[in-house]
Structure 1
Amino acid sequence: MRKIALGSRGEAAQPDCIKALVVEFVTTFLFVFAGVGSAMAADSLVGNTLVGLFMVAMAHALVVAVMISAGHISGGHLNPAVTLGLLFGGHITLFRSFLYWIDQLLASSAACFLLNYLTGGLGTPVHTLANGVGYTQGIIWEIILTFSLLFTVYATIVDPKKGSIDGLGPLLTGFVVGANILAGGAFSGASMNPARSFGPALVSGVWTDHWVYWVGPLIGGGLAGFIYENFFIDRSHVLIARDEEQ
């Protein structure tokens, strides 16, 4: 069973880490800008809820696929749940994970503040549970949706034995994000991403149900990373050393 690599504070000064943080900020910013922007446009321009949901799902699917590819230097996580899943698999150190989480939250906040300004103060839609959906149901929704996201990331991007789908990982990951929004968007909001939920909540000042979008995705992402790494992945590939000092 793979143990978590702790890393050290020295990582923050390494050129490759600094470059990765810059890229992670840029790609997360662009992801949230397009994702939240599509939700704002759907609220403003589309009267049909189903059409609006489809618009949001398609926008997220496309921008996730592109930003994962564009963010290859940092790994294109875009999401604290993805970072946690890769941490549990031994693919990133704990210290660098904390840096990524801060980076992702700052990028999401910056994107939402800019959207609020560019739209003349239009509200940023927040993730909240639908009427009739309780906390337990919402958490389970987010666990399952985020689990499917991380399982796809591992199967199509991380696993060195990808076979015929090699190179298609970002596109396939975008597909599953879009499908999950279509499936769960009307119930839990289908966040799958604490950073994606954090920015709109911060800008709007609406924190209703917000904790659900941390608990569910982090459990789902961490569980998927742990299960795939320990039961399905080919261990012939090299992971970072647990006691590596950087």
Structure 2
Amino acid sequence: MPIRSIAVGRHHEFTQPDTLKAGIAEFISTLIFVFAGSGSGMAFDKLTHGGGANPTGLVAAAIAHGFALFVAVSVGANISGGHVNPAVTFGAFVGGNISLIRGIVYVIAQLLGSTVACLLLNFVTGGLAVGAFGLSAGVGVSNALVFEIVMTFGLVYTVYATAIDPKKGELGTIAPIAIGFIVGANILAGGAFTGASMNPAVAFGPALVSWTWACHWIYWVGPLVGGGIAALVYELLFINQTHDHLPTSA
């Protein structure tokens, strides 16, 4: 069972060079991701004079976030695993793939990376507002919560299948692009309803900088629940149980 492999870690892990390097990598990767993702939305709004809330803006956001996440995961993969997301880190913890201590360092680094990215965007754009996540008109709290749970489930399940599974083999080489693709696809599906965060850090930075906290809890609870469920499902069904490859010939 996954619960048996959960590790708290020891307090000295906070100051281990490997942990600190991984935290720095998560900070930089998250900064890259949020700066490009949120920045693309701000640029689109500027070019269209506030017309970002249309189908073209949604497609642009999906492409920008997909590309940026592909890069952010790639550049951090060999150092920290390229989580770039507290929900991914939580999912890895639930499956026993990261200790609680190291996970806390990751989450702090991710939140700082997102915040710094939003502060930089506010500065370099001459004070333009960094848009915070929020629910669209007609979308209820329960609808939004389930949306975030399902989208993040798909994201973390993809992370497990392509990056964490010890039997991933050569599939691991496409992990960053697969992760970027599922985020882009989920933005196309959920962007018009909840903004399709799937990532508490991505929601936290804009909320802090713009001081907009309406329904912010959804962008924590939804992704963490979805990520945790995905981790349990993949660990229980496919990692802790034998899953042999299908025979290639009769």
TM-score normalised by the chain length of structure 2: 0.91
Instruction: State the partner residue of 1:218.
Output: 224
Q: 1:121 aligns with which of 110, 113, 127?
A: 127
Give the total of aligned pairs.
236
Residue 232 of structure 1: SS of its match in structure 2?
helix
Q: How does 1:47-196 map to 2 (within 5 A)?
A: 47=51, 49-72=54-77, 73-163=79-169, 165-196=171-202
Which 10-residue stretch deviates more, 41-50 or 19-28?
Answer: 41-50
Q: Deviations over 1:102-159 (max 9, x none)?
A: 1111111111011001101100011101111111000000000000000000011111
Q: Give 1:45's match in structure 2, choosing from 43, 47, 55.
A: 47
The residue identity in structure 2 corresponding to 1:52 is: G
Give the structure 1 partner of residue 2 of structure 2.
2
CA distance in 2, matches of 1:211, 1:152: 24
Partner residue of 1:20 out of 19, 22, 25: 22
Return 148-157 or 36-45, whichever deviates more: 36-45
2:38 alignment partner AA: V
Q: Is contact 2:19–2:105 with CA below 8 Å preserved after alignment?
A: no
Please give the root-mean-square deviation of Cα atoms over the aligned residues, in Å.
1.3
Q: TM-score, structure 1 length as denominator?
A: 0.93
**Could you list the per-position Cα deviations for residues 67-118 of structure 1 after superposition, in whole angstroms to 9, with x for gaps in the alignment?**
1111020111110000000000111001111111111111111110110011
Q: Which moved further from structure 2: 201-210 or 155-164?
A: 155-164
User: Equivalents in 2 of 1:164, 1:20: separation in Å?
Assistant: 24
- Provide the rounded CA distance (Å) in 1 between the counterparts of 2:82 and 2:170: 22
Larger relative contact order (C-alpha < 8 A, sep ≥ 6)? 1
| Distance of 2:44 and 2:218 partners within structure 1 | 24
Question: What is aligned with 1:244?
Answer: none
- Looking at structure 2, the residues matched to 190 and 30 of structure 1 have their Cα atoms a distance apart, in angstroms, of 18
Cα distance between partner residues in 2 of 1:233 and 1:35: 33
Give 1:104's aligned amino acid. Q
Tell me if the contact between 1:159 and 1:234 (Cα under 8 Å) persists in the aligned partners.
Answer: no
- Measure the CA separation in 2 of the matches of 1:169 and 1:234: 21
2:90 and 2:2 mapped to 1: Cα distance?
14
Instruction: Check the 8 A contact 1:160/1:234 in 2, yes or no.
Output: no
Shift in Å at residue 209 of structure 1? 1.3
Shift in alpha-carbon separation, 1:163–1:96, aligned structure 2, 3 A? closer
Deviation at 1:162, TM superposition (A): 2.3
Structure 1 residue 227 and structure 2 residue 233: aligned?
yes
What is residue 243 of structure 1 aligned with on the other side? none
Deviations 1:34-55 (A, max 9, x none): 1110111122223361111111
Give the partner amino acid of 1:57. A
CA 1:159–1:57: 2 relative to 1, 3 Å: same
